[in-house]
Structure 1
Amino acid sequence: VVLQVFSQEYINLLLSVYFFVLGVLALSHTMSPLMSRIFPASFPNKQYQLLFTQGSGESKEEIVNYEFDTKNLVCLLISSVVGVWYLLKKHWIANNLFGLAFALNGVELLHLNNVSTGCILLGGLFVYDVFWVFGTNVMVTVAKSFEAPIKLVFPQDLLEKGLNASNFAMLGLGDIVIPGIFIALLLRFDVSLKKNSRTYFYSSFLAYIFGLGLTIFVMHTFKHAQPALLYLVPACVGFPVIVALFKGELTEMFRYEESSPEEAGSTDESSESEKKDQ
């Protein structure tokens, strides 16, 4: 409907500017921990604060209060260069850098609190993905029409054309973020077991790689777009469940539930007050 009302050229221009801003911020945030390790200890790192307030006196209200340092500014500068490169050239490497930054930030920001919720979410999106790819051409049309870093692209003619490749296979960011938050949940479950092992994390991570490889294999075999979650969901859910059955921890895995930060904070406060009363 949107493509029928507005020109695709204007939509792509609007999306390019929008994702330029978001991409620069997301990539800068993703780069910061890595750059902090790269910078030498002698690097002159100064602290800054961006403060916007509204009103004056007692009615003064903070709108923005953001603290950053010189390292963050360097990351922002590098990200801006990538952003300009993407804005001008729409190069697939710049697209993938932004896409990976969005995916990593998505996994960091989104949380599942228990395995059951994760299975329900993955199951629902499994049906959704299969329907919109096999049942209609909407998903494929949108992915091909919009020039935005909402997907990772993999050049199929890289060996022939090098960095100027033009024939791409695509992987939607949702196919990374949704399984990613489930895998992150299993990592936290591993930590909660206090066994100094990452069995469920590694099994689900390997399952993701297996499912992604199977997706690519089927896509090349049948020469047709494939819903990645059709293969990723059974793999990412099935492998950890099999491991849990083998280790006798299936019930424990499905009973595991995380408390929200607010609940954890209130629990800590109540425990401290109880200690004081004693």
Structure 2
Amino acid sequence: ETMKQSDAAMFPIMGSASLFGLYCAFKFFDKDTVNLIISVYFCLVGCAALTATFSPVLASLGPKALGSTWVSKHVLIKHPLPESIGGASPWDIGVDCNVADILAFLASVAFSLMYFQTKHWTMNNVLGICFCLQGIERFSLGTYKIGAILLVGLFFYDIFWVFGTDVMVTVAKSLDGPIKILFPRSLVPHAESGRLEMSLLGLGDIVIPGFFLALLLRFDAHNANLPYFPTNIHASFPKPYFHSALIGYVIGLGVTLYVMIAFEAAQPALLYLVPACLGSSLLCALARGELKEL
């Protein structure tokens, strides 16, 4: 699905509404109950994300039959309908999947159940990474302008909710779900709580720049005159815009970690990532004389 300019402009507003809604839920309802509901939701969605991520891996690494053996079954569901819609025809559901899909789904269900029981930080990170990969794969930015609008809007969104209020930090610390990547500060558990002390990086700080980097990668492919279809994922071509923005992202993330450690306070990562990604791509365009094309 391609994001439009209106979608990009509304994204920070919708994100703010969702964030504040979660804050109110933790503020006025039982924290454990809210986390239970959210955990069930993420486990269900996680099954889909894990399956979509690992099925291609199994198909490519496993025996050839995993990716080429297909199961197709059409099921007619016969169920009594209310009289008001009794004339409606039965549903015809077609299911197409290969062996890798089935194996990945079964493994994903087992993984999600284990995560639900243990909430281990490594399993949290696996789910979070799968969410990021699927988000970047399934959504795209239509133009560079749309990407810039999205990044600038979320730049101010991040600053306001982190520095202006305690909402972002409260939700991030209260929500026990794979909405963040966790990094243990030490391998020795805390003396009082018995838990590892964690630093975190929100998935939004990965996915949003990821949308932008994916756009630049497509622009590089366009400049290299690669055919849109059929797509060759193994094609080699120059990637100046992608590499420049990726370097900018790494530098911005490094600055974020440095400032966070130096000031011992939560930092809005997009405060540093947005200028780094936008600035590096614009500098690359200026250096190549392709600012108008970008």
The two structures have a TM-score, normalised by structure 1, of 0.83
Q: Give the corresponding residue for 2:28.
A: 5
Please state how far the C-alpha of 1:165 moved relative to its aligned partner. 5.8
- Deviation per CA, 1:195-221: give whole Å up to 9, x if none: 631111111112111111111111011
* Match for residue 179 of structure 1 among 206, 209, 214: 209
Please state how far the C-alpha of 1:96 moved relative to its aligned partner. 0.5
Q: Give the corresponding residue for 1:152.
A: 181
User: Is residue 169 from structure 1 mapped to residue 199 from structure 2 by the alignment?
Assistant: yes
Judging changes above 3 Å, is the alpha-carbon distance between structure 1 residues 136 and 74 closer, same or farther for their aligned structure 2 residues? same
The two structures have a TM-score, normalised by structure 2, of 0.79
SS in 2 for 1:169: strand
Q: Give the corresponding residue for 1:227.
A: 268
Q: Is the 8 A contact 2:158 2:271 kept in 1?
A: yes
Q: Give the corresponding residue for 1:40.
A: 63
Judging changes above 3 Å, is the alpha-carbon distance between structure 1 residues 2 and 250 closer, same or farther for their aligned structure 2 residues? same
Please state how far the C-alpha of 1:45 moved relative to its aligned partner. 6.0
Please state how far the C-alpha of 1:78 moved relative to its aligned partner. 1.9
Please state how far the C-alpha of 1:41 moved relative to its aligned partner. 2.5
* Match for residue 72 of structure 2 among 41, 49, 53: 49
User: Is residue 88 from structure 1 mapped to residue 117 from structure 2 by the alignment?
Assistant: yes
- Deviation per CA, 1:190-246: give whole Å up to 9, x if none: 011126311111111121111111111110111000000001000111001101101
Q: Is the 8 A contact 1:54 1:60 kept in 2?
A: no
Q: Distance in 1 between matches of 2:174 and 2:280?
A: 35
Equivalent residues in 2 for 1:1-278, closer than 5 Å: 1-41=24-64, 46-49=69-72, 51=74, 60=89, 62=91, 64-158=93-187, 160=188, 166-194=196-224, 196-253=237-294
More divergent stretch after superposition (87-96 vs 197-206): 197-206
Letter of the structure 2 residue corresponding to residue 16 of structure 1: S
Q: Distance in 2 between matches of 1:61 and 1:129?
A: 48
SS in 2 for 1:251: coil
SS in 1 for 2:64: coil
SS in 2 for 1:226: coil
Aligned length: 249
Gaps of 5+ in 1: 254-278
SS in 1 for 2:265: coil
Higher helix residue share: 1
Q: Distance in 2 between matches of 1:229 and 1:8?
A: 28
Q: Distance in 2 between matches of 1:234 and 1:149?
A: 27
Q: Distance in 1 between matches of 2:253 and 2:137?
A: 21
Q: Distance in 2 between matches of 1:230 and 1:42?
A: 48
Letter of the structure 2 residue corresponding to residue 245 of structure 1: L
Please state how far the C-alpha of 1:46 moved relative to its aligned partner. 3.9
Q: Give the corresponding residue for 2:5.
A: none
Judging changes above 3 Å, is the alpha-carbon distance between structure 1 residues 165 and 43 closer, same or farther for their aligned structure 2 residues? same
